[in-house]
């Protein structure tokens, strides 16, 4: 995995231009850590600000304690299934489903904003 940018908002490499990545690698690999959810996770450290971060920092499942099928949640909500029904089907709590729906919603808004940023109305 190649980190897309430094997660530190005051770092010069935070959301830096992706064209500069092949020329200058802003991070160093500093090892791995073991999680109960996904197993080994790689860690990185920014060369500019010194902030360390992992590959899960950039994942929609960042800081979650259980793997859930986001596609199944998205499909179920699209078909009008209730949150309690989805939680029963996936054998997890209502709060877990609500959390994933919030995450999917924010990711969808961010994707929509990035896709429409270059468009102009005539």
Examine the fold and report which residue of 20, 38, 58 is the final residue of a domain before the chain moves on. 58
Q: Are residues 70 and 102 in the same domain?
A: yes
Please report the pLDDT score of residue 120 as a whole number.
87
Question: Could you tell me the residue range of the domain that residue 72 belongs to?
Answer: 60-122
95/58 Cα distance (integer angstroms): 22
Task: Please give the model's pTM, rounded to 2 decimal places.
Answer: 0.76
Q: Are residues 32 and 85 in the same domain?
A: no
Q: Which of 62, 69, 65 is nearest to 106 (CA)?
A: 62
- Sheet with strand 52-54: strands edge to edge: 27-35, 39-46, 52-54
Q: Would you tell me how many other CB atoms lie within 10 Å of the CB of residue 86? A: 22
Q: Are residues 54 and 65 in the same domain?
A: no
Residues of the chain predicted below pLDDT 50: 19, 21
Q: Are residues 16 and 64 in the same domain?
A: no
| 27 bridge partner residues | 46
Q: Are residues 70 and 112 in the same domain?
A: yes
């Amino acid at each position: 995995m190649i980190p897309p940018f430094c997660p530190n908002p005051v770092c010069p490499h935070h959301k830096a231009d992706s064209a500069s990545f092949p020329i200058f690698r802003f991070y160093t690999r500093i090892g791995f850590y073991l999680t109960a959810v996904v197993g080994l996770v790689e860690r990185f450290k920014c060369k500019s600000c010194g902030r360390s971060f992992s590959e899960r920092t950039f994942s929609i499942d960042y800081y979650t304690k259980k793997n859930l099928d986001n596609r199944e949640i998205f499909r179920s909500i699209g078909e009008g299934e209730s949150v309690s029904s989805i939680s029963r089907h996936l054998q997890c709590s209502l709060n877990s489903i609500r959390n994933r729906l919030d995450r999917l919603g924010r990711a969808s808004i961010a994707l929509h904003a990035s896709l429409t940023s270059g468009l102009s109305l005539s």
